[in-house]
Amino acid sequence: MRPLVIAHRGASGTSPENTLAAFRRAAELGADMIELDVQVTRDGAVVVIHDYTLERTTSGTGPVHAHTLADIRRFDAGGWFDPAFRGERVPTLAETFAAVALPVNVELKPVGADDLEARALAVVEEAGALERTVFSSFAMDALERLRARSAAARLAVLWETDRIGDAVAWARRVGARALHLRKDAATPRTLEIAAAQHLPVRVWTVNDQAEMGTLAAAGVEGIFTDFPERFLHPSGRA
């Protein structure tokens, strides 16, 4: 059985990352889930963007958290990738849930203790989407605060080193049901330890078919990929 194919920042190999275009493309391709990154604006909106600053993926400049939502909406979030995508905007998390019916991995990228987890949880609950959402973060304190607010939220520990014992301990502490591991940390040893703890492992970022085959054989439950089509339509049909 193939692993779950999780569209990393949407179908970000062929569309501008973390835009509605990338999420809709992932849905068209038949992805099992989308992954996206969220941050909070100066006025408390939850927006979908990876970098802490606007330069790389929008026509704006400066930190995301220093701008209001209205400011950020004025910037173009597609033209940097390809002129055909000009007009894409940085989406809010609420818009994303309204646009796509797929399961969603909401990766929290807080800046200090900015209440991002509480705001993101409120958006997800308002959308009636708690059941199709997995929250993850490198920020264990954000996961702890999220768990304190919601017993029902599904959490995953996001982890990038081979100190798997620490990841397992955090998973226990916050009640996470999965580990999201950077691929070079997904060694046979770490996968074995996670399996013994009944923690499914999803691995990022995998764009190569042979590599996915190796990881699938090693027991990973899912892969995050920029190119879902390579795994869902390996013969080239998209």
Contacts with Mg ion by CB under 5 A lie at: 37, 107
By C-beta, is 212 or 236 nearer to ligand G3P? 212
Please list every residue from 174 through 213 that binds ligand G3P, using CB under 6 A: 180, 204
Least distance to Mg ion, CB of residue 9, Å: 6
CA dihedral 26→27→31→32, nearest 10 degrees, is: 130
Distance CA 57, CA 179 (A): 28
By C-beta, is 96 or 136 nearer to ligand G3P? 136
Contact track, ligand G3P, 12-41, x by CB under 6 A:
-----------------------x-x----
Residue whose pair of structure tokens reads 């909106």 in the numeric block = 45
Distance CA 7, CA 216 (A): 17
By C-beta, is 119 or 180 nearer to ligand G3P? 180
Could you say which of ligand G3P, Mg ion, none residue 224 binds, taking C-beta under 5 to 8 angstroms by partner kind?
ligand G3P
Distance CA 148, CA 90 (A): 29
Residue nearest to ligand G3P according to CB distances in the complex: 204
By C-beta, is 41 or 105 nearer to Mg ion? 105
Whole-angstrom CA distances from 51 to 20, 84, 118, 132, 237 are 17, 22, 20, 25, 32
Q: Is 8 a catalytic residue?
A: yes
Could you say which of ligand G3P, Mg ion, none residue 204 binds, taking C-beta under 5 to 8 angstroms by partner kind?
ligand G3P
221 binds ligand G3P (CB under 6 A): no
Q: How far apart are the first and last CA of the chain?
A: 20
Please list every residue from 102 through 121 that binds ligand G3P, using CB under 6 A: 107
Please list every residue from 135 through 174 that binds ligand G3P, using CB under 6 A: 136, 158
Do residues 119 and 145 touch, judged by C-beta distance below 8 A? no
By C-beta, is 43 or 55 nearer to ligand G3P? 55
Distance CA 161, CA 185 (A): 5
The 3-state DSSP class for residue 18 equals coil
Q: Is 67 a catalytic residue?
A: no
Q: Which of 115, 116, 118, 201 is nearest to 158 (CA)?
A: 201
Annotated catalytic residues are: 8, 50
The footprint of ligand G3P (CB under 6 A) covers 8, 35, 37, 50, 107, 136, 158, 180, 204, 224
